[in-house]
Amino acid sequence: MSEYDLLDTKSGNSVVAAIDHGLSLGAAEGFRDPEATLQSILKGGPDAVLVGPHFARHYNALIKDAGVDTVVTADIVSSSTRPGFDDGQDIWTPGFDTELLLDLDPKGVKIVLVFGRDDRQMFVRNLSYIAKMAEELRGTDIPLVVEPVMWGSRVPTELETHPEYVSRAARMAWEYGADILKLPYTGDPVTFEPIVKNAPIPVMILGGPNTGSTLEMLTGVEGAIASGARGIMIGRSIWKTDDPTSVVRALEGIVHDGKSADDVWDV
Amino acid sequence: MSEYDLLDTKSGNSVVAAIDHGLSLGAAEGFRDPEATLQSILKGGPDAVLVGPHFARHYNALIKDAGVDTVVTADIVSSSTRPGFDDGQDIWTPGFDTELLLDLDPKGVKIVLVFGRDDRQMFVRNLSYIAKMAEELRGTDIPLVVEPVMWGSRVPTELETHPEYVSRAARMAWEYGADILKLPYTGDPVTFEPIVKNAPIPVMILGGPNTGSTLEMLTGVEGAIASGARGIMIGRSIWKTDDPTSVVRALEGIVHDGKSADDVWDV
Amino acid sequence: MSEYDLLDTKSGNSVVAAIDHGLSLGAAEGFRDPEATLQSILKGGPDAVLVGPHFARHYNALIKDAGVDTVVTADIVSSSTRPGFDDGQDIWTPGFDTELLLDLDPKGVKIVLVFGRDDRQMFVRNLSYIAKMAEELRGTDIPLVVEPVMWGSRVPTELETHPEYVSRAARMAWEYGADILKLPYTGDPVTFEPIVKNAPIPVMILGGPNTGSTLEMLTGVEGAIASGARGIMIGRSIWKTDDPTSVVRALEGIVHDGKSADDVWDV
Amino acid sequence: MSEYDLLDTKSGNSVVAAIDHGLSLGAAEGFRDPEATLQSILKGGPDAVLVGPHFARHYNALIKDAGVDTVVTADIVSSSTRPGFDDGQDIWTPGFDTELLLDLDPKGVKIVLVFGRDDRQMFVRNLSYIAKMAEELRGTDIPLVVEPVMWGSRVPTELETHPEYVSRAARMAWEYGADILKLPYTGDPVTFEPIVKNAPIPVMILGGPNTGSTLEMLTGVEGAIASGARGIMIGRSIWKTDDPTSVVRALEGIVHDGKSADDVWDV
Amino acid sequence: MSEYDLLDTKSGNSVVAAIDHGLSLGAAEGFRDPEATLQSILKGGPDAVLVGPHFARHYNALIKDAGVDTVVTADIVSSSTRPGFDDGQDIWTPGFDTELLLDLDPKGVKIVLVFGRDDRQMFVRNLSYIAKMAEELRGTDIPLVVEPVMWGSRVPTELETHPEYVSRAARMAWEYGADILKLPYTGDPVTFEPIVKNAPIPVMILGGPNTGSTLEMLTGVEGAIASGARGIMIGRSIWKTDDPTSVVRALEGIVHDGKSADDVWDV
């Protein structure tokens, strides 16, 4: 039914729980015990988990036993040379060998594309790496997932989900080689729908820094799905909550069954 | 009749609609819906479209069905780390793998050569990449199109099309390996004709930032063709207008049939 | 019994005497005569010595005759361009060819991961090298030992063993590709045990700059072993003492036989 | 008779007209029409022309028909990111693929070695490239021509031909791998002769920026030949004159037939 | 008798005349005529000459006819972008292709290791190159000679031969891959002997900038040999004198025959 295994579900959409944060944040509050967090997420039955390749390697048995697919993160991004801190520093690098990534049998390979950086050279390397990875995945059936984000200090936080920024960034991401977009949601279907429609590739949405309530997050997902998004790749809004299992299940209700946020979440 | 497929037309000239701007500008006003813009251009029947390689990949069927050729852009140039903004920053990088480019069966591969940069190292990489791509294309029948432009901040805007700058830049571009030049038009045949005559390779002209009227643009094209130019690679002056189809057709009248701007455009 | 030869001992733990300091410090006080220091350590009967590859090459016969294994250091780290001085400069580089390392038949390959650096590019290269070496060792049975440390000037000395820093750094180290962690001990089992438990790979501890007494060091090791650590890779606290042989033996008592520091060391 | 085809002439010397300036200066005054300039030079019957590889490619038929050899320039040097301007900027890069150069069947490959630069890294890359090209040409019978010049801003213009600078630079150039030296003439045989004698390889002289009269230039050439130089590689002092054909012929009289400047040039 | 051809002499020591200075100094006073200097040195009958690879190439016949071996210099070091000047600039680069070096059939390959630099990146590249060359020479019987020196501006001149600096630098040099050390002599056997004894590889001494008398230099060599050094690699103190032949012979008396400086040199 779909062009990629990842989206070859009943609904054609996919729920991907993002748990690759150890690469950037180290042992973050709420995700210090990787196995416990993983288990609570797998119990919710997501379609896939987004993980670092060595996370995938160490917890492979658990993930496979749960019948869950993996999408792997290929690059490393951070905001400080101190472990897991945010000092506003531009730090990014291609991470892992493509052969390692492919041997993990992933349903997708994910790279960020960080706009707004002060460090032009790092931005340029980021562009080149997307183009290079797109070429390395060509001829496999594994899609390149690009996540264009506005994390650089030259974009004020309040504009990171602005439709103008998101639509331009989305366009650039697939022009550079993305097969699937992992986009920030702009907040409403009116502005998000044309972004989805204008992309010749599937759009999924990211979660961002779990600042609001779970219901708010789910309402956003509802809007994104209504706008034509093909699913979600959300992390902190799942594992930072008290009950990741239930949040994953709620997401499935919206993403696969077309339910509303209110249907699936009881505040 | 011609040395390259691209110029193997009845007139020996070529009309190439440039729609590779998503690489630099993202979803620009007038080109937010890539398919719609592409369709309106294809309807005008250009000889080829200049596109990014992933654009070519996604819209391949449409382009082929229209019997239109492709010229692909090999590099990425931008003026900001913010998506699609112009912050006067020097950003340029070799973009795409040559194997990908060649697999798209292009009638040309295009690279910019940006003069006037503050960043000497970036300029040097730009030079090297042209020489390297010229070598990678040697032995194929695909010409390397180099577009020497004066976008760097060390050249004032009003001098970007000055004959002295254009003639020097043109010479350097083919000395570095260009097979076809995509030049700024100097504004009149008196200054442009010797530039065309002194180049041992075909010259085509670019459009630049659609600032004047369509008639003015077409008058420029008329002058360029009169100067010996072998066609055009124009973008914004086509797709930023209300009726790209008609603009493409008007260009064909001038480029292929030797008509005047007044013949083909009714203000 | 164990996943790696290095830990395939009766206790499943390992005592590794670190004597790779010549790479960073040159001929340090207490370690000026490499053969004498090596002999006094080998006499104590450690499971392995951690050495530079050329140290391994020159003293191979002595080490093999003593029935001791080697773990080799793959990178070079220093704090000054002056030999063996500490001028607070960020200096690090991948050191040795993987083929050389493998030909030495090591039971592990060790790389530092220095957090807190001012030099972002050096940090990025450090990350990349870990990922690259992890890939080069994949398919061999030689574990990649990563030593995440907080030596950069952006982390105050008193926080270098802080549980928050150590736990984050440990997580990042294995997400980047470590097979065994060489961690700073946090000072007490309460904070160290969860760090060990949350790692999907074996944890060993480093010694640090021999500032306290041998008994204090051994008490730390006792705590680390009680926290689940699988052994030690300690250097200066061994070879800077008057009697390296006895210190190695004392470490074995704690690491392999579960004795207390007081059991094995008479002040 | 000679070690290289280039010097295998009746006199053992060679007259090489340098017309590779498009690489640096673009369409320079006096050399805007490349074919016309080339023709007027070929008519004079030089032994070879020094050209960029793509110049060689485009005008190959003309050059071959004239029975003239080519020496090709392998690197690109400039003084500005603006086309053909001199803004005192350090710009240099290895230019062209060795395979392209060799396919042109050159009688020599030329690289500059610019001393006095502010940019140490560029100087270092220049050194490395000479050593690398020397190795790539080893085993062919094509000599590496190195042109050591004092163009960097750290050497005052009036010292650019000073014997102390020229002798040191010449020595370094062949120690790095030159097979033939293209040197600035020091101005008199007394200082130039020992430089020629102390070099284990042939010395030819460059022309420099045509500041004096043709007679002065020819007098210099006379002195250089008297000092043991094996010929000339001169450009601007030929093509910037009104009659390049005659200047080339005059040079032949001096270089091949041992005539004086006065013999060959009538002011 | 010895592990390397270079030291396979009757005494097990070696006299190497260093004449690779053209790489750094250009045509230095006293060494302007390379052939004359070489001849006067060969006449003294050294065991080997230390030369740049292209010097070796051009004067190969002379050296071979004299029955003298060669040690080749693999890197390029300088103190200025001006030719042969000392402007205190950090300039260093790997120089020559290993294949070229090996084809010259050398008895050793020499690299400097410059401590005390301001330029950390250059220092790091220097380290990496030593490790890389050590690997490239592994499996041949050609030793890697490393010359650790304190030329960087961060080490005051008066400390360049200080035992603490020399001993640390020596240790680092072999830990990075040296097979033979070319060390500054500390000035007396009391401090130099432990440095020699603590190295698992042969130690030879360098000459430094010929500042004292020949007798002083020879007295130093006497002390070094008494300390266990296996010979010398000395240049300026030979070729800057009036009678290089005699200085070489005097060195042989000390290095091979165990004579004193007074025995071999009549002031």
With beta carbons under 8 A apart, name residues in chain B contacting A176.
23, 54, 76, 95
Distance CA(E192)–CA(E125), nearest Å, equals 29
B57: Cβ contacts below 8 Å, ≥ 6 apart: B104
Q: Mean pLDDT over residues E173-181, rounded? A: 98
Q: Is A266 helix (H, G, I), strand (E, B) or coil?
A: coil
Q: Mean pLDDT over residues E206-229, rounded? A: 91
Give contacts of C 17-36 with E, CB under 8 A: 22-23, 25-28, 32-35
Question: How far is A79 from chain C, CA to nearest CA, in Å?
Answer: 10
- Here the tokens at position E161 are 């031969």
Distance CA(E50)–CA(E106), nearest Å, equals 9
pLDDT (0 to 100) of residue A245: 98
User: A188-217: per-residue pLDDT in tens?
Assistant: 999 999 999 999 999 999 997 767 899 999
With beta carbons under 8 A apart, name residues in chain D contacting B171.
22, 26-27, 34, 84
Return left, alpha or beta for A88; rule: phi > 0 is left, psi -120 to 50 is alpha, else beta. left
pLDDT (0 to 100) of residue A208: 72
User: E47-72: per-residue pLDDT in tens?
Assistant: 999 999 999 999 999 999 999 999 99
Q: Is A49 helix (H, G, I), strand (E, B) or coil?
A: strand
Percent of chain B with pLDDT over 70: 99
pLDDT (0 to 100) of residue A1: 45
> Does A2 have pLDDT greater than 90?
no
> Does E1 have pLDDT greater than 90?
no
pLDDT (0 to 100) of residue A44: 98
Tell if the CB–CB gap between D135 and E81 is shorter than 8 Å: no
pLDDT (0 to 100) of residue E2: 65
Q: Mean pLDDT over residues A179-189, rounded? A: 97
Q: Which residues in E71-103 are b (16+ Cβ under 10 Å) and which e? A: bbbbbbbbbbbbbbbeeebbbbbbbbbbebbbe
Under 8 Å between Cβ of E110 and E101: no
Distance CA(B155)–CA(B151), nearest Å, equals 7
Ordered DSSP codes for chain C: --SSGGG-SSSS-EEEEE--THHHHSS-TT-SSHHHHHHHHHHT--SEEEE-HHHHHHTHHHHHHTT-EEEEE-EEEEB-SSTT-B----EEEE-S-HHHHHHT--S-EEEEEE-S-S-HHHHHHHHHHHHHHHHHHBTBSPPEEEEEE--STTS-GGGTT-HHHHHHHHHHHHHHT-SEEEE---SSHHHHHHHHHT-SS-EEEE--S--S-HHHHHHHHHHHHHTT--EEEE-HHHHTSS-HHHHHHHHHHHHHH---HHHH---
Give the residues of chain C that fall short of pLDDT 50. Answer: 1
User: E159-170: per-residue pLDDT in tens?
Assistant: 999 999 999 999
Mean pLDDT of chain C: 96
Question: How far is B39 from chain A, CA to nearest CA, in Å?
Answer: 14
Q: Which of A92, D76, E167 is nearest to B129 (CA)?
A: D76
Question: Which residue is closest to B118 within chain D, CA to CA?
Answer: D81
Tell if the CB–CB gap between D115 and E59 is shorter than 8 Å: no
Tell if the CB–CB gap between C95 and E124 is shorter than 8 Å: no
With beta carbons under 8 A apart, name residues in chain E contacting C97.
131-132, 135
Under 8 Å between Cβ of A59 and A72: no
Tell if the CB–CB gap between A82 and C154 is shorter than 8 Å: yes
Q: Does B128 touch chain D (CB under 8 A)?
A: yes
Tell if the CB–CB gap between E82 and D116 is shorter than 8 Å: yes
pLDDT (0 to 100) of residue C210: 67
C54: Cβ contacts below 8 Å, ≥ 6 apart: E134, E174, E175, E176, E177, E178
Q: What letter does residue A5 receive in the DSSP assignment? A: G
Tell if the CB–CB gap between E32 and D116 is shorter than 8 Å: no
Contacting chains of A (3 CB pairs or more, <8 Å) are: B, C
pLDDT (0 to 100) of residue D210: 67
Tell if the CB–CB gap between B81 and A175 is shorter than 8 Å: no
Q: Does B87 touch chain A (CB under 8 A)?
A: yes
Question: How far is A123 from chain C, CA to nearest CA, in Å?
Answer: 13
The residues with which A112 forms a beta bridge, in sequence order, are A147
> Does A241 have pLDDT greater than 50?
yes
Does E touch D (3+ CB pairs < 8 Å)? yes
Residue of A21, A50, A51, A54 to mutate, testing the C interface (most C Cβ within 10 Å of its Cβ): A54
Distance CA(B159)–CA(B168), nearest Å, equals 13
What is the distance of C-alpha D117 from the center of its chain? 20
Does E touch C (3+ CB pairs < 8 Å)? yes
Tell if the CB–CB gap between E131 and C99 is shorter than 8 Å: no
Q: Does C90 touch chain E (CB under 8 A)?
A: yes
Tell if the CB–CB gap between D135 and E90 is shorter than 8 Å: no
Q: Does B171 touch chain D (CB under 8 A)?
A: yes
Question: Which residue is closest to C137 within chain A, CA to CA?
Answer: A100
Beta strand pairing status for C180-183 and C144-149? parallel
* Facing residue for D116 by CB, picked from E81, E91, E95: E81
Q: What letter does residue A179 receive in the DSSP assignment? A: S
* Other Cβ atoms within 10 Å of C234 Cβ, number: 28
> Higher model confidence: residue D212 or residue A126?
A126
User: D199-227: per-residue pLDDT in tens?
Assistant: 999 999 999 776 789 999 999 999 999 99
Tell if the CB–CB gap between A120 and B90 is shorter than 8 Å: yes
Angle at E67 between CA E65 and CA E68, to 5 degrees: 110
Tell if the CB–CB gap between B167 and D26 is shorter than 8 Å: yes
Query: Residue D234, exposed/middle/buried by CB under 10 A (0-12, 13-18, 19+)?
Result: buried
Question: How far is D186 from chain E, CA to nearest CA, in Å?
Answer: 15
> Does B186 have pLDDT greater than 50?
yes
Q: What is the greatest pairwise CA distance in chain D?
A: 47
Question: Which residue is closest to A80 within chain C, CA to CA?
Answer: C116
Tell if the CB–CB gap between E54 and D175 is shorter than 8 Å: yes
Question: How far is B157 from chain A, CA to nearest CA, in Å?
Answer: 23
Question: Which residue is closest to C139 within chain A, CA to CA?
Answer: A100
Question: How far is D125 from chain B, CA to nearest CA, in Å?
Answer: 12
Q: Which of A235, A232, A216 is nearest to A37 (CA)?
A: A235
With beta carbons under 8 A apart, name residues in chain C contacting E134.
54, 100
Question: Which residue is closest to E80 within chain D, CA to CA?
Answer: D116
Tell if the CB–CB gap between D91 and B138 is shorter than 8 Å: no
Question: How far is D209 from chain B, CA to nearest CA, in Å?
Answer: 18
Distance CA(B23)–CA(E260), nearest Å, equals 76
Q: Does C127 touch chain E (CB under 8 A)?
A: no
- Here the tokens at position D57 are 């490619």
Q: Does C59 touch chain E (CB under 8 A)?
A: yes
Under 8 Å between Cβ of B166 and B195: yes
Distance CA(A183)–CA(D131), nearest Å, equals 49
Q: Does D211 touch chain B (CB under 8 A)?
A: no
With beta carbons under 8 A apart, name residues in chain B contacting D59.
200
Tell if the CB–CB gap between E26 and D171 is shorter than 8 Å: yes
> Does B209 have pLDDT greater than 80?
no
pLDDT (0 to 100) of residue B2: 65
Q: Does pTM top 0.90 for this prediction?
A: yes
Quote ipTM for the complex: 0.97
Query: Residue E263, exposed/middle/buried by CB under 10 A (0-12, 13-18, 19+)?
Result: middle
Tell if the CB–CB gap between C33 and E197 is shorter than 8 Å: yes
Q: How far is CA B250 from CA B16, B263, B266, D194, D233, in A?
A: 13, 9, 10, 70, 51
Q: Which of D150, D142, D206, D207 is nearest to D179 (CA)?
A: D142
Query: Residue A249, exposed/middle/buried by CB under 10 A (0-12, 13-18, 19+)?
Result: middle
Distance CA(E254)–CA(E222), nearest Å, equals 6
User: B12-45: per-residue pLDDT in tens?
Assistant: 999 999 999 999 999 999 999 999 999 999 999 9
With beta carbons under 8 A apart, name residues in chain A contacting C124.
91-93
Q: Which of B122, B99, B6, B109 is nearest to B52 (CA)?
A: B109
Number of A/B CB contacts below 8 angstroms equals 96
> Does B1 have pLDDT greater than 80?
no
Domains of chain A listed by start with CATH number: 5-264 (3.20.20.70)
* Amino acid of residue E8: D
Q: What angle in degrees, to the nearest 10, is found between the helix axes of D34-43 and D244-257?
A: 40
In the block, tokens 């004066």 appear at B150
Distance CA(A146)–CA(A149), nearest Å, equals 9
Does E touch B (3+ CB pairs < 8 Å)? no
Mean pLDDT of chain B: 96
Q: Mean pLDDT over residues D149-174, rounded? A: 97
Q: Does A58 touch chain C (CB under 8 A)?
A: yes
In the block, tokens 């700024």 appear at B184
Q: Does E150 touch chain C (CB under 8 A)?
A: yes
> In residues, how long is chain A?
267
Q: Does E139 touch chain C (CB under 8 A)?
A: no
* Facing residue for E198 by CB, picked from C32, C54, C80: C32
* Facing residue for D168 by CB, picked from E27, E59, E81: E27
> Does D74 have pLDDT greater than 70?
yes
> Does A135 have pLDDT greater than 80?
yes
What is the distance of C-alpha A235 from the center of its chain? 8
Ordered DSSP codes for chain E: --SSGGG-SSSS-EEEEE--THHHHSS-TT-SSHHHHHHHHHHH--SEEEE-HHHHHHTHHHHHHTT-EEEEE-EEEEB-SSTT-B----EEEE-S-HHHHHHT--S-EEEEEE-S-S-HHHHHHHHHHHHHHHHHHBTBSPPEEEEEE--STTS-GGGTT-HHHHHHHHHHHHHHT-SEEEE---SSHHHHHHHHHT-SS-EEEE--S--S-HHHHHHHHHHHHHTT--EEEE-HHHHTSS-HHHHHHHHHHHHHH---HHHH---
Q: How far is CA D56 from CA D49, D107, D110, E86, in A?
A: 9, 12, 14, 41
